[in-house]
Amino acid sequence: MTAHPPYDSAANASPRLTIMQGEARASADPALTMTTILGSCVATCLYDPIARVGGMNHFLLAEPPDPARARAFDSDYGLFLMELLVNEMLKLGAVKSRMKARLYGGANMNRDLAPIGSGNAAFARAFLAAEGIAKVYEDMEGHQARRVEFRPASGLVRARMVHSDEPTAPIPTHKPRVPAQSGFGAVELF
């Protein structure tokens, strides 16, 4: 009888990449899982089924106010992060006309405050329509946070509501450093 080594779940676990607020990442790695937790923020999961390339972003606000728009390539805004995500996928061989989108988040977490989540959701829908990117699914708005797991190379997504009594790791609120290749001037606006 041949003895098999014990199963090591840590060695066999797929790599996970947490997409933080203000980030957009793309990959063709079939083993990678991108994850995030959303409240009023929105995450877009884009996927090109032919190139088998996908990506996720996580934005806090839809667009900068009008006076700041001309100079605001800020990672807080969906306007910047949507363009960045599309461009990162194009670099990996995706074709814009084949991209499919799934939208998550946009919850109005506090019913007594302005509906920031609904504004983010409306922006994401309008951006996809304006860019001709097919939205194949959305799980948005409401009043609960969501946990999203996305396999970018296959386009598979698992999302679920996070109940208020469920423990979650704190979400850092610092601005991530934008990689040099993704900074100002590297984003092609369509």
- Structural domain contains residue 179: no
Q: 56 lies in a domain?
A: yes
In a domain, residue 168? The reply is no
Looking at per-residue confidence, does 183 or 124 come out higher? 124
- Alpha carbons within 13 angstroms on the beta-carbon side of residue 37 total 14
Query: Nearest 5°: phi and psi at 186?
Result: -95, -10
- State pLDDT tens for residues 76-116: 688 889 999 999 999 999 999 999 999 999 999 887 778 88
Lowest-confidence region among 14-18, 43-47, 76-80, 127-131: 76-80
pTM of the model: 0.78
| Lookup: tokens for 100 | 């499919």
Domain contains 7: no
CA atoms of 86 and 96, how far apart (whole Å): 7
In the predicted model, is pLDDT for residue 4 greater than 50?
no
Expressed as residue numbers, the domain containing 98 is 15-163
* Domain count within the chain: 1
What's 108's domain CATH number?
3.30.1330.200
* pLDDT tens sequence across 151-186: 999 999 999 999 866 555 554 445 545 454 444 445
User: Would 9 be classed as within a structural domain?
Assistant: no
Q: Is 169:125 a contact under the CB 8 Å cutoff?
A: no
155 assigned to some structural domain: yes
- Do 64 and 4 touch, CB atoms closer than 8 A? no
Contacts 24+ apart (CB under 8 A), 15-21: 19/43, 19/56, 19/57, 19/58, 20/58, 20/171, 20/172, 20/176, 21/58, 21/59, 21/60, 21/76, 21/171, 21/172, 21/173, 21/176
Tokens of 44: 């877009």
Q: Tell me, yes or no, whether 188 lies in a domain.
A: no
Whether 11 has a pLDDT exceeding 60, the answer reads no
- Residue at 134 is within a domain: yes
Percent of the chain scoring above 90 in pLDDT: 62
pLDDT confidence tier of residue 131, bands split at 50, 70 and 90 = very high
